[in-house]
Amino acid sequence: MMTLNIAFVSKLLIIPIFFGIFVSLFALFAVYAERKISARVQNRIGPNRVGPYGLLQTIADILKLIQKEAPYPFGSDKIFFNLAPILSFAASFVIFSVLPFNYYLCGLDLNLGLIFIIAIGGFNVISILFAGWSSNNKYSLLGSMRSASQMISYEIPIALIFAAVFIAFNSLNTIDITKAQENYFFNWNIFGGDNHLLKRILIIPFSAISVIILFIAFLAEANRTPFDIPEAESELVAGFHTEYSGIKFSFFFLAEYSNMFIAAALISIIFLGGFSSPFGYIGSLLNSNFIINIEQFFWFTIKSLSIVFLQMMVRWTLPRLRADQLMNLCWKYLIPYSLVAVFYALIISYI
Amino acid sequence: MFIYDYIKESYEGLISSVKALSVGFKHLFNKPVTIQYPEVKLKLPEKSRNRIAVIIDDCIGCYQCERACPVQCIEIETVKALPGEDLGKTSDGRKKALWVTKFDIDFAKCCFCGLCVYPCPTECIKMTEEYEYSVYDRRNLIYSFSKFSTEEAEQKKKNFELYGSQKKEEINKN
């Protein structure tokens, strides 16, 4: 039985509030970063009017969104129309509970962490289908149907890679996976994990392939640009959120950006050592747990944000795939390669 | 063979995407080409055609520009000088014989062809560097270059008519 001590209660209160603040701050930062990066890739300047270097631009945007009227389209299903953005954000917010930011800020010590992520990630499909179907608009419905087909097919390589990860690293628990890669950067799974030399050399190609597959599949899961067929501005107006405005739209936006962060965080947890520092901690020299926690938080966010940066770069360099090309990429390339990765992981696990 | 082609194809796809990404990375460090317009302006080309300005002191009232204008946006009225009046000289030494009582250019009509600039004998009608002069009312686009107000112009006209009728009487007497 779980004992209700002070530490547990404080965790129960602090962690959701912390993650709530973190997600909204991250979304603010990421929207600004996205606009700046897109501007720099295209040799523009980007937002620079609101506040110093345009830093307050997203806050102004949020204020604008909050003020907006939230009309219902004609013939829409009001219950599901309202439910969809909440569900979309809630689904991605719940996943934050299994992401360990440091020893203290990890919501759930779940044995089936990665399976949990896949299961909750399925809610995204449902919420997008709700949104598209309930808004009584052909473009929304088309967008949401495309999105459902895309997300369902890209969940398969993710699940297969998670299975391979489980076979190779013997854990589905995000905290355990992180703890196994502690101490120095050569213990990260992308450099072979904390193993003897032969196994390291065998694990490196597995990690490389898995990272690439996970990165691509997560991009598709988060509906990011090379795979933004559900939103496809030039074809479907705005896809499943065509009819949404104001605060409801901003919830979809928040969900998209938190999905981006989740994808980045998962890659950094599984392959880049999660919150573990690459060079050891200053806090361990000073014998202070508090400083170690801060350092771990720092390293975790730095690793995740650098992958978020990569996702943004991909968005602004690669064009959108056609629907059939998207399915080709998933079924003809990602799934066979991830099956190979599973078998390879089986072979490694016997060495 | 099939497997070899398959792996080669996927490898090439990956490499080409990475190459595309590296191009994007290079552009991150380029200087932006944006010109922040109201604060920073590009230098105009030498023969750019913008708003017209008239140096009214040099105008001899020859109507050349009005005649050249293809859209009739220039309106000039002149009054002959009376014998006692000295109108001075233009900057290139021509003697002025006409009061230019009205010199209006309607920039709502102006097509910026520049045809009025070439025939001017004293080079008093010129292109400026000014191209931001939008207004809320179209009537505000009529620019008056004459020094005379409408009352003064009326006065000049009356003076001349008076002089003319006096002259007529003199001729009739003789």
**pLDDT, tens digit, for every residue of A59-101?**
888 888 888 887 888 888 888 888 888 888 888 888 888 888 8
Within this chain, do residues B28 and B66 fall inside the same structural domain, yes or no? no
- Which candidate, B74, B50, B49, places its Cα nearest to that of B62? B74
> What is the 3 state secondary structure string of A306-343?
HHHHHHHHHHHHCCCCCHHHHHHHHHHHHHHHHHHHHH
pLDDT of A2 strictly over 60:
no
Within this chain, do residues B27 and B112 fall inside the same structural domain, yes or no? no
* Separation in Å, CA of A47 to nearest CA in chain B: 12
Count of the separate structural domains present in chain B: 2
Residues of chain B positioned with their CB less than 8 A from the CB of A314? 17, 21
Over residues A219-237, the pLDDT tens digits come to: 888 877 788 776 766 666 6
**Which range scores top for mean pLDDT: A313-322, A337-346, B90-99?**
A337-346
For residue B98, is it within any domain? yes
Work out the pLDDT band at B136, boundaries 50, 70, 90: very high
Over residues A279-315, the pLDDT tens digits come to: 877 777 777 778 888 888 888 889 899 999 988 888 8
Residues of chain A positioned with their CB less than 8 A from the CB of B10? 333, 337
- Interface touch A318/B17, C-beta < 8 Å: yes
Within this chain, do residues B87 and B146 fall inside the same structural domain, yes or no? yes
What is the chain B residue with the closest CA to A44? B32
- CB-nearest to A333 from B10, B20, B28 is B10
CATH number of the domain within which B111 lies = 3.30.70.3270
Within this chain, do residues B21 and B86 fall inside the same structural domain, yes or no? no
* Whether A44 contacts chain B with CB within 8 A: yes
* A251 within 8 A of A85, measured Cβ to Cβ: yes
Residues of chain B positioned with their CB less than 8 A from the CB of A337? 10
For residue B162, is it within any domain? no
- Interface touch B25/A40, C-beta < 8 Å: no
Question: What pLDDT, on the 0 to 100 scale, is given for residue A62?
Answer: 86
Within this chain, do residues B24 and B61 fall inside the same structural domain, yes or no? no
- Interface touch A317/B10, C-beta < 8 Å: no
Within this chain, do residues B58 and B144 fall inside the same structural domain, yes or no? yes
- CB-nearest to B27 from A43, A45, A318 is A43
Within this chain, do residues B19 and B63 fall inside the same structural domain, yes or no? no
Q: What is the pTM of this model?
A: 0.80
* Whether A10 contacts chain B with CB within 8 A: no
Q: How far is CA A296 from the centre of its chain?
A: 19
Within this chain, do residues B17 and B82 fall inside the same structural domain, yes or no? no
- Interface touch B32/A337, C-beta < 8 Å: no
Within this chain, do residues B24 and B60 fall inside the same structural domain, yes or no? no
User: Domain of B17?
Assistant: 1-33
The predicted model gives B20-37 an average pLDDT of: 87
Residues of chain A positioned with their CB less than 8 A from the CB of B34? 43-45
- Interface touch A39/B32, C-beta < 8 Å: yes
Within this chain, do residues B81 and B14 fall inside the same structural domain, yes or no? no
pLDDT of A1 strictly over 70:
no
For residue B145, is it within any domain? yes
For residue B38, is it within any domain? no
